[in-house]
Amino acid sequence: MLYFLQHYWWILVSLLGAILVFLMFVQGGQSLLIWSTKNKEEKTLLINALGHKWELTFTTLVTFGGAIFASFPLYYSTSFGGAYWLWTAILFLFVIQAVSYEFRGKAGNLLGAKTYETFLFLNGMVGTILIGVAVGTFFTGGSFVMDKMSITDIYKPTISYWTNGWHGLDAITNPFNLTMGIVVFLAARTLGLLYIIMQIDSDAFITRCKSQVKVTGTAFVIGFVLLLLVLFTMTGYSVSQENGLISPVRYKYFFNMTQLIWPLAMLLMGVILVLWGLGTSFFAKGRYSFYITGGGVVVAVWSILICAAFNDTAFFVSTVNIQNSLTLYNSSSSEFTLKVMAFASLMIPFVLGYIVYVWRALTKVKISTDEIGKADSHKY
């Protein structure tokens, strides 16, 4: 039962992570604020279109944090406490986002509209890259040591810590992590452009976004394929279910895909959806490109995150001592807690249901200057 629950919760946490990557279209859209918008009107249109959705992304990030804390507390403890600066930088970039929508257009906002726009841009540009870097550590690990029994040392009871003074910033220097960061950014920006094309009522702006999405979308696909090539040729680490020992396995993630098959099928489906979605945008009106590409991103990212831990794979490897690495088995909550949480997770379809209802209610009218200007409308 514990084995099942550990995998069930990894699937859910991975799904949350995948949905988060999709919902970061908000961040991708924000990255257009500087250089890609021509005037104040376009900025306002963009911010108001994204402003209806930003909290959904933010809440998904917060829930991802809560869910991983509850289901894999040793990861929460080791990664957040160890890669201190990486996570703090991410948090900082999301704090400045959270106030910017509401504060930007208000009189007396102290810092001026441009500062808040810069905050949104930084969140969209650097925030997505750093989240991608953090996701990359699921495959490249980190420079930490972890020993649960350290709690018995009353003078230094620290269970885990980073062994270098960079406290997680070193993860950015890893080429794979950085590539992952850039690919996540490109995915977010592509989706952001597709969202604008779908949701904003401004011909000039849409024409520009349509030409931009061709470049960004193509770069995203190329980057993603490159990332997959590196991932599938990487050495991963396997954990023995018998004695818990961890050992390196060449092409581990490739084998995870081919041995389990269904993640491979998910990945292929994701790639097809992404290509289909982009194709409809490149060569047709692309009315549903945002949803098709977004769906593809969710399925593809989900499959990759599943492969980070399934098939007895260490999902957070200690580069200092591989036996300290985290797996689904040594890092999860107890069977009882996972079971309680599994009952709570039964509410997820209901939650998704009302999110879809609200999403539809708010996207049926395109965002235009007239729409923003309506007396009943809350403006950003």
In the numeric block, which tokens belong to residue 312?
């007895």
Interface pick for another protein out of 222, 225, 245, 340 (rule CB under 8 A): 340
Q: What part of residues 45-64 is at the interface with another protein (CB under 8 A)?
A: 52-53, 55-56, 58-59, 61-63
Which residue, 204 or 340, has its beta carbon nearer to another protein? 340
149 binds another protein (CB under 8 A): yes
Which residue, 36 or 44, has its beta carbon nearer to another protein? 44
User: Taking the complex as a whole, how short is the minimal distance between the CB of residue 373 and another protein, in angstroms?
Assistant: 12
Contact between 327 and 314 under an 8 Å Cβ cutoff? The reply is yes
# residues near another protein by CB under 8 A: 82
Strand 160-162 versus strand 235-239 pairing type: unpaired
370 binds another protein (CB under 8 A): no
Interface pick for another protein out of 82, 192, 223, 277 (rule CB under 8 A): 82
162 binds another protein (CB under 8 A): yes
CA atoms within 13 A on the CB side of 184: 29
User: Taking the complex as a whole, how short is the minimal distance between the CB of residue 13 and another protein, in angstroms?
Assistant: 10
Shortest CA distance to 71 belongs to which of 13, 14, 18?
13
31 binds another protein (CB under 8 A): no
Find the part of the chain contacting another protein (CB under 8 A) among 229-237, 287-295, 307-315, 360-368.
360-368
Q: What part of residues 168-227 is at the interface with another protein (CB under 8 A)?
A: none
333 binds another protein (CB under 8 A): yes
In the numeric block, which tokens belong to residue 250?
């060449």
The sign of the torsion formed by the CA atoms of 343, 359, 275, 32 equals negative
User: Taking the complex as a whole, how short is the minimal distance between the CB of residue 323 and another protein, in angstroms?
Assistant: 13
In the numeric block, which tokens belong to residue 258?
């081919």
How far apart CA 21 and CA 169 sit, in angstroms, is 21
Interface pick for another protein out of 39, 66, 211, 262 (rule CB under 8 A): 66
Write down the H helix ranges in the chain.
2-23, 25-30, 40-51, 54-71, 73-75, 81-82, 84-104, 113-122, 128-140, 175-199, 203-233, 252-260, 262-283, 289-309, 328-331, 335-345, 348-363, 369-373
How far apart CA 97 and CA 87 sit, in angstroms, is 15
Which residue, 111 or 265, has its beta carbon nearer to another protein? 111
272 binds another protein (CB under 8 A): no
Burial class of residue 73, CB neighbours in 10 A (0-12, 13-18, 19+) = middle
Find the part of the chain contacting another protein (CB under 8 A) among 178-186, 259-267, 277-285, 370-378.
370-378
Contact between 16 and 64 under an 8 Å Cβ cutoff? The reply is yes
How far apart CA 197 and CA 29 sit, in angstroms, is 11
156 binds another protein (CB under 8 A): yes
Q: What part of residues 105-144 is at the interface with another protein (CB under 8 A)?
A: 106-111
How far apart CA 289 and CA 268 sit, in angstroms, is 18
Find the part of the chain contacting another protein (CB under 8 A) among 192-200, 291-299, 300-308, 345-353.
345-353
Residues 6+ positions from 71 with CB-CB distance below 8 Å: 9, 10, 12, 13, 332, 333, 338, 341
Interface pick for another protein out of 113, 159, 230, 268 (rule CB under 8 A): 159
Which residue, 63 or 323, has its beta carbon nearer to another protein? 63
Q: Show the site string, 83-112: x = touches another protein by CB under 8 A, - = not.
A: -xx-xx--xx-xxxxxx-xxx--xxxxxx-
Interface pick for another protein out of 39, 173, 259, 334 (rule CB under 8 A): 334
How far apart CA 183 and CA 174 sit, in angstroms, is 14
User: Taking the complex as a whole, how short is the minimal distance between the CB of residue 235 and another protein, in angstroms?
Assistant: 28
User: Taking the complex as a whole, how short is the minimal distance between the CB of residue 58 and another protein, in angstroms?
Assistant: 7
Which residue, 21 or 273, has its beta carbon nearer to another protein? 21
Interface pick for another protein out of 1, 154, 261, 284 (rule CB under 8 A): 154
